[in-house]
Amino acid sequence: MMLGPGRDDAPGEAPVVIVEEGSVGIVATRSVALPGGLPLDGGARLRPITVAYETYGELNAAADNAILVEHALTASAHVAGRHRPDDRAPGWWDVMVGRGRAFDTAEHFVVCSNLLGSCYGTTGPSSIDRRTGRPYGLGFPRITVGDMVRVQHVLVQRLGIRRLRAVVGGSMGGMQAIEWALRYPEWVDSLILVATAARATPQSIAIHKVGIEAILGDPHFRGGDYYGEEPPAHGLAIARMLGHVTYLSDGWLWKKFGRRRAPADPAGLRTLFEIESYLEHQGRKFVERFDANSYLYLLRAIDLYDAAEGYGSLADSFRRMRCRKAVVASFSSDWLYPTYQSRELVDALRANAVDVASHEIQSEYGHDSFLLEHEKLTPLFRELLAS
């Protein structure tokens, strides 16, 4: 499904959804520099920091019509439109952003920034460490979801925004949205949380562990100092194949591939089935566009996230929130962030008098449903924003 930078956070071969009517058209990724940097949750201070972002629509006179869209693990700030007329596909959530779409740019100022630690324009492990003149590599400080949100907070202030009409996130993006409402409660009017959770589960951490070990064990990893050399492509491809499986569902895999055999493998072991060829293709595509160190850092940020940390319960933690409304949506076939985790969010929000619309959407696409089921999600988002 995903094509180009930031468009591979879902099953690459699920239906491509492109809707031209209402498109934001040709857009550009911009950046802002924070020369003094910012303190991080781990105690270090990272400086300088560059933040890549895109905006769509216009900020109103009251500076309170902004919607902040948070992206998932390996996406980018490029949510909507095309960077060039000949782009093969638009931004990763293009179907949701534009005139007449869920996030209507005739009414709202839509913002998305690339995550701290990523490799699509915001400072991360592949950025140059001014102290050494070389990429940070594993010298980059450990980062958290909270650090990502702290950087975004500075960005939205630089853009002149005074209040966020909504903070929206799917998957890891939902964790950032939750953190926004906890760290900066006076900023957030409403939350839209899709296929996400308040914390990483042991299952998720275990899956990440296998991918991390594949990267660290690649002979080309070189302790993270592989820039300018052959990268740890094999380990990164394995990590991505494993992660990619978690985005899919058993039903979709049967429908798409079944047990159909791949072209004969001379060795008879490596690739016997079409699903294996598909995963190999996804691994190759990912290696071409993403940095292995960034993948490690972002996986660990997910693993460390727990919105209830330091509090007796999630409901206790959510007492810090001041948002009035929320939409929480899960998908029937999502086993990466299953519905029970969305229900935990709903219960904690309602315990703190937040007006929550909760939905489990029937879908065959697994975790990737949040990128593909735009027709089912759009009316839910519109209802919240209209209210």
Catalytic residue annotation: 171, 334, 367
Q: Which of 58, 67, 353, 314 is nearest to 188 (CA)?
A: 67
Report the sign of the C-alpha dihedral through residues 217, 283, 230, 76, in that order.
Answer: negative
13 touches 278 (CB < 8 A): yes
Q: How many CB atoms lie within 10 A of CB 214?
A: 21
Q: CB-hemisphere CA count at 13 Å for 352? A: 22
Structure tokens at 142: 């450990």
Rounded to whole angstroms, how far apart are CA atoms 68 and 8?
A: 21
Rounded CA-CA distance 322/325 in Å is 9
Query: Sign of the C-alpha dihedral, residues 366, 108, 182, 355?
Result: negative
Alpha helices in the chain (DSSP H): 145-158, 172-183, 202-216, 233-247, 250-256, 274-289, 292-304, 314-317, 339-350, 369-372, 374-386
